[in-house]
Amino acid sequence: MTSPDASSRLLVRDLAQAVTAASPDAPLRGADLGRVDVVEDAYVLCEGGRIGEVGRMAELGSLGGDVEEIDGRGLCALPGLVDCHTHACFAGDRAAEFELRARGAGYEELHAAGGGILSTVEATRAAGEDRLREAVRRHREWMLHAGTTTFEAKSGYGLDRETELASLRAIKDEGGFPTWLGAHAVPPEYDGADEYLDFALAEVLPEAAGLAEAADVFLERGAFDRDQARRYLEACRSAGLALRLHGDQFSEQGAIPLAVDLGARSVDHLEATGHDGVRALAESDVVGVLLPVAALVLGRPMPPARALVEAGAAVALATDFNPGSAFCESLPIVSSLACTQLGLSPGEALGAMTVNAAHVLGRANRIGRLAPGYDADLVLLAATDWRHLAYHLGGEVVGAVVRSGRLEWQR
Ligand code: NIG
Ligand code: FE
């Protein structure tokens, strides 16, 4: 991706509103999560790929020299959305499994019978690196059209050396933040999780550590247990990777205490988290990443979002985009679910998918806010009230997207 030259300027003028999380802190907790700054009748000036000014039209001074302009009438500017948890690197689909589940089959049973994640592993191994790169590009475009300007994506559908490394390269080449999900499932050629981890840590980690920013593990019955997750994460931490966990999706297996003990960036899912887990997360620096689409699609209880926020935990929201539990790339839909299913306000949802999601990726100093000095990544909502982001369930609410100070897509 090319970066704009230092002198390029873009003025988005006559916006109905420009909106961003109010508190300068990251991560946002408690009452700060829901506080938003709303500037009415606003402009945003981007300079050299960064945000230069955000203000009221009445206060816009005269700008000499070349300035490209976007007419913002009827639009609201928000920070570009940050999707901090996706599985966007995969081949094939699971439409047939979707039908089986619609007819009553269980997600965990399908996985135990060698379907589910392992059927995507088969398709992903067969695809080859070029087709994987094309898949990530296609998925990245879908995300962009839904307002996502920064995305994380995990490997985890290769589970062999070649395909795991190819996945991480494809994600990186397409502008994503790569996470090595080397412990997603035990592939069929291994007798058990310990034997598979012997291979993954010896043969894949050394090179994966040079490509990925973080490591992730699926800590769950039928996947990896607490000791195996600890072994995997400690090795990844020693190799310089930040740590994430898929935890408490179907059952509590100690993911939160492990995440806290290891100083993980996040523990993601939390549909099965009880009171003790809520308290432990609130007292820690670990972010709880909530994935309401996966809970909805699999008919699971929603994560205890309200209790987490009230207790002072830092929460982020993400799509979990993947071919099985969450074939949905839309953070606006996640924001609707946050408000209707998780008990969050539109402002809390916005903070959770901008500032707090950026914090999970270690980039809260550069992305997630409409404020001078931040990357000029903007969503221009096709609405005069920014709350349409959550209010318009499944609607075509994103009118245009600016990335690094350039108009990247327009409906
Ligand atoms: O986050 N639970 C583990 N992994 C993914 C689903 C992967 C799949 O079904 O392909 C998740 O939900
Ligand atoms: Fe996931």
- Three-state SS for 290-356 is ECHHHHHHCCCCCCCHHHHHHHCCCEEECCCCCCCCCCCCCHHHHHHHHHHHCCCCHHHHHHHCCHH
Which residue from 87, 220, 293 has its CB within 8 A of the most atoms of ligand 1, so it is best to mutate? Answer: 87
Supply the DSSP symbol for 203.
Answer: I
Indicate the pLDDT class of residue 398, thresholds 50, 70 and 90: very high
Is the CB of 321 within 6 Å of ligand 1? no
Relative to the alpha carbon of 153, which ligand is closest? 2
pLDDT digits (tens, 9 = 90+) for 214-245: 999 999 999 999 999 999 999 999 999 999 99
CA distances 37 to 60, 148, 379, Å, are: 18, 20, 16
DSSP secondary structure letter of residue 73 = T
Residue 224 gets which letter from DSSP?
B
Asked whether 262 and 230 are in contact (CB, 8 A), the reply is yes
C-beta of residue 113 within 8 angstroms of C-beta of residue 188? no
Q: If you average pLDDT over residues 270-293, what whole number do you get?
A: 98
Please answer whether residues 65 and 5 qualify as being in contact, where contact means their C-beta atoms are separated by less than 8 angstroms. Answer: no
Note the pLDDT tens digit of each residue in 149-187.
999 999 999 999 999 999 999 999 999 999 999 999 999
Atom of ligand 1 nearest to the CA of 320: 1
3-state secondary structure of 244: strand
> CB neighbours (10 Å) of residue 281?
29
Give the pTM.
Answer: 0.98
pLDDT at 26: 98
Q: Is 320 in the pocket of ligand 1 (CB under 6 A)?
A: yes
| Cα of 30 from ligand 2 centre, angstroms | 25
98-107, 170-179, 200-209: the lowest-pLDDT one: 98-107
* Mutational test site, ligand 1, from 118, 120, 322, 328, max ligand atoms within 8 Å of CB: 322
Q: What is the pLDDT of residue 3?
A: 57
Q: Kindly identify the ligand whose nearest atom is closest to the C-alpha of 244.
A: 2
Helix, strand, coil content of the chain in percent (nearest 5) = 35, 25, 40
Task: Please state the φ and ψ torsions of residue 37, each to the nearest 5 degrees.
Answer: -95, 125
Q: What is the mean pLDDT of the chain?
A: 97
- Give me ligand 1 centre to Cα 325, in Å: 6
Single-letter residue type at 194: D
User: Is the model's pLDDT at 5 over the cut of 80?
Assistant: no
Provide the token pair at 219: 């800590």
Q: Which residues pair with residue 44 across a beta bridge?
A: 12, 54
Which residue lies with its CA nearest to atom 6 of ligand 1? 325
pLDDT at 101 over 50: yes
Q: Is the CB of 179 under 6 A from ligand 1?
A: no
* Nearest protein Cα to ligand 1, atom 8: 324
Angle between helices 117-127 and 161-173 in degrees, nearest 10: 80
> Could you give the 3-state DSSP secondary structure of residue 46?
strand
Q: Is 322 near ligand 1, meaning CB less than 6 Å away?
A: yes
Rounded to a whole number of angstroms, the distance between the first and last alpha carbons of the chain is 21
The rounded Å distance from CA 318 to ligand 2 centre is 9
Burial 180-209 (b: 16+ CB within 10 A, else e): bbbbbbbbeeeeebeebbebbbeebbeebb
Give the atom of ligand 1 at the shortest distance from the alpha carbon of 294.
12
From CA 230, how far away is CA 249, in angstroms rounded?
18
| Closest ligand to the CA of 223 | 1
For ligand 1, atom 3, which residue shows the shortest CA distance? 218
Q: Is the CB of 149 under 6 A from ligand 1?
A: no
* pLDDT greater than 50 at residue 1: no
CA 326 / ligand 1 centre spacing (Å)? 8
CB-CB contact of 353 with 317 (8 Å):
yes
How crowded is residue 283: how many other Cβ atoms within 10 Å of its Cβ? 12
pLDDT of residue 112: 86
pLDDT in tens, 16-43: 999 999 999 999 999 999 999 999 999 9
Among candidate residues 262, 269, 256, 261, the one with its CA nearest the CA of residue 236: 262
State which ligand 1 atom lies nearest to the alpha carbon of 218. 3
